[in-house]
Structure 1
Amino acid sequence: MASKPGLLSDWPWQKLGNFKYVVLAPWVVQSVYSFVTKEEKERDITNLLIFPFLLWRLLHSQLWISLARYNSAKTKHRIVDKGIEFEQVDRERNWDDQIILNGLLYYIGFMYLPGVSRMPIWRWNGFVITTLLHMGPVEFFYYWFHRALHHHFLYSRYHSHHHSSIVTEPITAVIHPFAEHLVYFLLFSIPVLTMLFTGTASVVVFVGYVTYIDFMNYMGHCNFELVPNWVFNIFPFLKYLMYTPSFHSLHHTQFRTNYSLFMPLYDYIYGTMDKSTDKLYEDSLMGRKETPDVVHLIHPTTLQSFYHLSPAIASLASEPYNSRWYLSMFGLIPYEFMLFTWIFGSTFTVERNVFDKLKMQTWAIPRFSFHYSKSSQKDAINSVIERTILEAESEGVKVLSLGLLNQGEQFNGNGELYLQKHPNLKIRIVDGSSLAVAVVLHSIPKGTKQVLLSGNISKVVCAIAKNLCQRGIQVGVVCKDNFDKLKLRIPTELWSNLLISTSYTQKVWLVGDGELNEKEQRRAPEGTHFIPCSQFPPKKMVRDKDCIYYTTPAMLIPKALQNVYSCENWLPRRVMSAWRVAGIVHALEGWDAHECGDTTLDIDKVWLASLSHGFLPMLDHPLIRNA
């Protein structure tokens, strides 16, 4: 909110939360009912088209969000080289409020304004009127209203809310208090009302004009330059009629310049054009060469997890992953995107982070978890990972950490496959197993004498069992086959602390890969601690025994790690998986060894190095455990 919220700052449906769209429901139902029940000659399609038009505006907005976030993560044409944080995401999550407001006013206007019903598809004179009125009154009035909003009285009560975002995203364009949006709607209604009262209105011009406003608004608030220089070289006069993202970015950093809506003409006329506008535009176009030091390679898990990626739905990406029923209605979109990225590129960039001078990116393979379980996909996915490693090395990346199933022991030997094929790699491959082991060991409650191992045996599980046995803690194993596998991978002198457990009396369960079913969980004593050893959390099935479910191995990240505005899978905000943190620490320490295959680094050394760089254990985080 603004620093001193003024009258009509809050939206009327603010308390409805995600149910705010119900305010449109009566109008949508009425428009459909009216169209269906009337005779064919009396039907008016204009009213019926309002709802599809609102859906188009939502889609248009989402396309800009995805484009901007994808480009901001990898482009060299960034304008403001700063990060976005969760505070801005939360402030801008209600960007669709203005579309709801516009929809209500459209429906009301249809009922009471002359010339709306039976609007023709196209009229040239309406197009000319709209163009002239926008270039004249709309741009002129907006310029002076915008300058007035920067007076300390109005700025502190209204416009400061918009300017809270120094690094802008497309949806920053529509983040204003309710009162401001009412004024903007009246301002943009000048051409529309004129068309209606002169009988020159048409569907195409109305839809086109609103789409033009959305397009220019979103484009101008991108934090990267996308208007090519040849546009102004061929048409020099356009510099007065069309702004660029760098032009408006200066308004958000300098505040007292570049007030114009879309046409810089009025800033030239009234002497408020920022003197550095042209230079910033040229510098942004030229861009800056940027090579990440660390790349974390992931993949979407479920189909719905696709929408939780940073370039997808911003509000979902800013929260821990949780399945939502309504996303199943868009089931084909993840497949279509997967096919598109698979054809035009092996991986796609999800996000970019900065830790002091260390630059990091997260890349994703366009495949879901279920693809990794198919033997027919194994060679193809390993080939993509291999190409990605070689691509990262050619770009100068120092460390590549393998996340989720990209480092499966049965899949590629915890990354050993790629070293066997390319033994002279300069890039360091990190599977993060040492830090994952350290996190699990430090999560076990003090005074624990016995633990129970459940799930499949993995590199991490073996290292945990070995360390626990060395400390004199008994490690119970449910399955005889897993017991035999563990005996082969830990020293014989530690076997005395390894046993087959059939009693399920241990109150600390270490859960590896594989399904922990409800029957097993029911046998756990009251107050059992379920601590995952894998990258995927166990399903919580026991609700009546006050059992404690830990998150997957992860650490709180330091404040110096910036541009973090999305959650990593099911982890809380500003928490990263141990496997991802391991890659960062590996680069910060400048370690020369690979960590993959059977190789495990010194666990205590890795743990202390992580703490020294500001990463903290999750034990005190409010979301570490959920009963």
Structure 2
Amino acid sequence: MWKGDARILSAWRWLNRKDVKQGKKAKGATQPGILYEFPWEFMGSYKYLLFLPFLYVVCSGQDDADNWCYHMLVIAGLRYAQSWVWNFLSRNHNLTDRTRIQDKGLDFNQVDREDNWDDYIILQAIVASIVHYLPFLYCSNGVCHAYKDFPLYDNKGLIKLILIHMGPTEFIYYWLHRALHIHSLYAKYHSHHHASFVTEAISGSVHPFMEHLMYTANFAIPLVGTWLAGGASISMFYLYLLGFDLLNMIGHCNFEFFPVWPFRVFPWLKYLIYTPSFHSLHHSRVHTNFCLFMPLYDYMYGTLDDKSWDLFYKAAAGVAVPHSAPSAVFLAHGTEFLSVFHLPFMTRSFAAHPFRTNLIMYILWPLCLPLLLVIRLIGRVFIADKHKLLQHRIETWVTPAFAMEFFFRSQWPRINSYIEDAIMSADAAGVKVFGLGALNKNEALNGGGSLFVKKHPDLRLRLVHGNTLTAAAVLHKIPRGVEEAFVVGATSKLGRAISLYLARKGVKVTMMTQSRERFEGIRSDCPAAYRGNLKHSLSIEDGRNCSCWVVGRFLTPAEQKVAPRGTTFHQFVVPPLPELRKDCSYTSLPAFTLPDSATGFRSCEMTMERRNVHACHAGALVHLLEGWTHHEVGAIDPDRIDVTWEAAERHGFRLVPDKKIC
């Protein structure tokens, strides 16, 4: 222990206080000091324009004999590529969940705070270039020496590079890191980094500008030192910068990467290379394990955590965190092809915002085909992310199919086999509630899930399509006092339930459907006293005098034009209607904001805003919290609409409001 421990722990408790609201972007440091922000922070995403001078020099043929700007761009590109790989692994529960070190989830606060994780790549490219283009670094015996004219490769120089790093750089970093844990410096700078209790691969580069200046100066020692020792080369920059990033990301990836056997066969390795679990203890216990990559310095100066190797062995064996089955699973699927990049483990920043396509994204189209092939080869449902709701573990799984595939009858057996296998796997694992999202519960595909309940009557889990809460959400958007409604898509699962509910409330409902038989079937389900409130329609023209439209299918521009001025389109159609009528209002798809007890949400559910989920997803979670023992499949029971709504409100789910209605 050292004297700053108590102050550090006090600052750590401040960082983790409960009054910090999830989702609000905040600085990580408790008392930000001078040079806290990077000079280009005001530029936002335009900061990448700082690479343009390098690109201009290369493209204009003005690069020097070392091809310096070319190599700086290539190294930067490789650093970004490597970070993507490790971010993919760090967030991918399917590949790395077994050796997880910490199972506490991340939130949007951390994602936002770490959004500038790559500023150091820009900084180091600029600083290295300034040094390279200086006329000279030193003069000796009347000869001035500049940091240039590098050979492509020097094997002895690479050995010198590693030795200089192991000596001066590791030593200086250790004591600099210790100094940054002194209360004043910790509060002003280093607490920004430690705000990430559970780290991701890129968390290791999330520091204030002042810290990065200090680190850059220290990490320049091996590069300049090797040059002074007569061993510098172009390959030196590749090895050191990419190797440094690799070790830094390994240390923060939150899954144990190293096997146990090398450390048992060669015990001295414990002092030469750290492990992810070793550095994880620094973030969880704060005042131990200060080294950069070599635990030797913690051992020498008495700051080696005595739990370091126990945690390593546990994590490597897959027992560092519990691996119990989730209480609830929600099964989603891809929408358009580009939606694959919205998965949490594909792009952290993109996934943290509602899914929107733009022209720049279509650059990724060439990657879609190989990704589609990989998904098809995997051939099974996979985990997208994990969360918590009160004491319950909840997970989002994804069917390896895109929306357009659900409309081809030839694909139905394959898709249903994915869903069925996932249900049976979840049932065997002890999952309590299995929610079906979007087209996974399509009526034509599997009868809203009833196919699986009939086929497997002994299911222990409860299968839930969640549409009862969806119907409740649509109905609660319809103002009280409405006397008539025009329902399009009236014989669908939701259209039927909404029509029956409104009819019972005394609303005159015109149900547009080409099937008289289906209309009569729904009408017969309505209590005799209210059947007169249901009217059959064959034409969209019958809605011309009704300002309350409930829409469950796509409407053409001509059909929308029929609605009178001031109409509100209450929709449950996917995708939502294009808002063509400026004199009308369009409700959004039914969605709920999660209660405060829901944690670990770091990505948006497709087009939903942060911490909002589709109504059917919320319906599955309410089913879990209420402990209901019935399957919610097939037709919606109108008698349960109010019951489900009240349960959702009681558990803190709040209907996402629409923009102003006409």
TM norm structure 2: 0.88
Superposition deviation, residue 403 in structure 1: 0.6
Counterpart for residue 265 of structure 1: 296
Alignment partner of 1:349: what SS? strand
Alignment partner of 1:361: what SS? strand
Counterpart for residue 580 of structure 2: 541
In the alignment, residue 88 of structure 1 is paired with which amino acid? Answer: Q
Counterpart for residue 236 of structure 2: 205
Counterpart for residue 119 of structure 1: 150
1:397, 1:427 within 8 Å by CA — same for their partners in 2? yes
Select between 262-271 and 352-361 the one with higher mean Cα deviation. Answer: 352-361
State how far apart, in whole Å, the 2-side matches of 1:166 and 1:365 are. 32
Alignment partner of 1:384: what SS? helix
Superposition deviation, residue 529 in structure 1: 2.7
State how far apart, in whole Å, the 1-side matches of 2:348 and 2:166 are. 33
Residues 496, 604 of structure 1: alpha-carbon distance in 2 compared, 3 angstrom cutoff? closer
State how far apart, in whole Å, the 1-side matches of 2:109 and 2:390 are. 20
Matches within 5 A, 1:285-364: 285-286=316-317, 287=319, 288-364=322-398
In the alignment, residue 623 of structure 2 is paired with which amino acid? Answer: H
Provide Cα deviations, 1:317-376, integer angstroms capped at 9, x if missing partner.
111111122121111334323322432351221111111221111111222111112222
1:568, 1:576 within 8 Å by CA — same for their partners in 2? yes
Provide Cα deviations, 1:373-413, integer angstroms capped at 9, x if missing partner.
22222211111111111111222212211111111111221
Counterpart for residue 519 of structure 2: 486
RMSD: 2.4
2:590, 2:655 within 8 Å by CA — same for their partners in 1? no
Residue 610 of structure 2: which of 551, 563, 573 is its match?
Answer: 573
Counterpart for residue 266 of structure 2: 235
Counterpart for residue 21 of structure 1: 48
Select between 239-248 and 449-458 the one with higher mean Cα deviation. Answer: 449-458
In the alignment, residue 295 of structure 1 is paired with which amino acid? Answer: V
Residues 45, 483 of structure 1: alpha-carbon distance in 2 compared, 3 angstrom cutoff? farther
Residue 553 (structure 1) aligned with residue 593 (structure 2):
no
Alignment partner of 1:366: what SS? strand
Residues 490, 157 of structure 1: alpha-carbon distance in 2 compared, 3 angstrom cutoff? same
Counterpart for residue 653 of structure 2: 615
Select between 141-150 and 388-397 the one with higher mean Cα deviation. Answer: 388-397
Residue 80 of structure 1: which of 90, 97, 102 is its match?
Answer: 102
Superposition deviation, residue 625 in structure 1: 6.3
Provide Cα deviations, 1:286-317, integer angstroms capped at 9, x if missing partner.
32332112111111111222222211211111
Residue 556 of structure 2: which of 513, 517, 521 is its match?
Answer: 517
Select between 422-431 and 125-134 the one with higher mean Cα deviation. Answer: 422-431
2:256, 2:277 within 8 Å by CA — same for their partners in 1? yes
Residue 5 of structure 1: which of 29, 32, 43 is its match?
Answer: 32
Superposition deviation, residue 525 in structure 1: 4.1
State how far apart, in whole Å, the 1-side matches of 2:516 and 2:170 are. 75
Matches within 5 A, 1:426-445: 426-445=460-479
Counterpart for residue 274 of structure 1: 305
Matches within 5 A, 1:71-150: 71=93, 75-112=97-134, 119-150=150-181
In the alignment, residue 562 of structure 1 is paired with which amino acid? Answer: T
State how far apart, in whole Å, the 2-side matches of 1:135 and 1:624 are. 59
Where do 5+ consecutive residues of structure 1 fail to align?
none
Residues 444, 47 of structure 1: alpha-carbon distance in 2 compared, 3 angstrom cutoff? same
Counterpart for residue 70 of structure 1: 92
Residues 579, 435 of structure 1: alpha-carbon distance in 2 compared, 3 angstrom cutoff? same
Superposition deviation, residue 558 in structure 1: 0.9
1:119, 1:202 within 8 Å by CA — same for their partners in 2? yes
Matches within 5 A, 1:453-492: 453-455=487-489, 457-477=491-511, 479-481=512-514, 485-491=518-524
Alignment partner of 2:60: what SS? helix
Instruction: Percent identity, please.
Output: 37
Superposition deviation, residue 484 in structure 1: 5.9
In the alignment, residue 3 of structure 1 is paired with which amino acid? Answer: T
Residues 199, 484 of structure 1: alpha-carbon distance in 2 compared, 3 angstrom cutoff? farther
1:73, 1:349 within 8 Å by CA — same for their partners in 2? no
State how far apart, in whole Å, the 1-side matches of 2:159 and 2:427 are. 55
Matches within 5 A, 1:580-599: 580-598=617-635
State how far apart, in whole Å, the 1-side matches of 2:661 and 2:357 are. 17
State how far apart, in whole Å, the 1-side matches of 2:344 and 2:182 are. 36
Residue 506 (structure 1) aligned with residue 565 (structure 2):
no
Where do 5+ consecutive residues of structure 2 fail to align?
1-26, 137-144
1:162, 1:175 within 8 Å by CA — same for their partners in 2? yes
State how far apart, in whole Å, the 1-side matches of 2:422 and 2:353 are. 28
Alignment partner of 1:365: what SS? strand
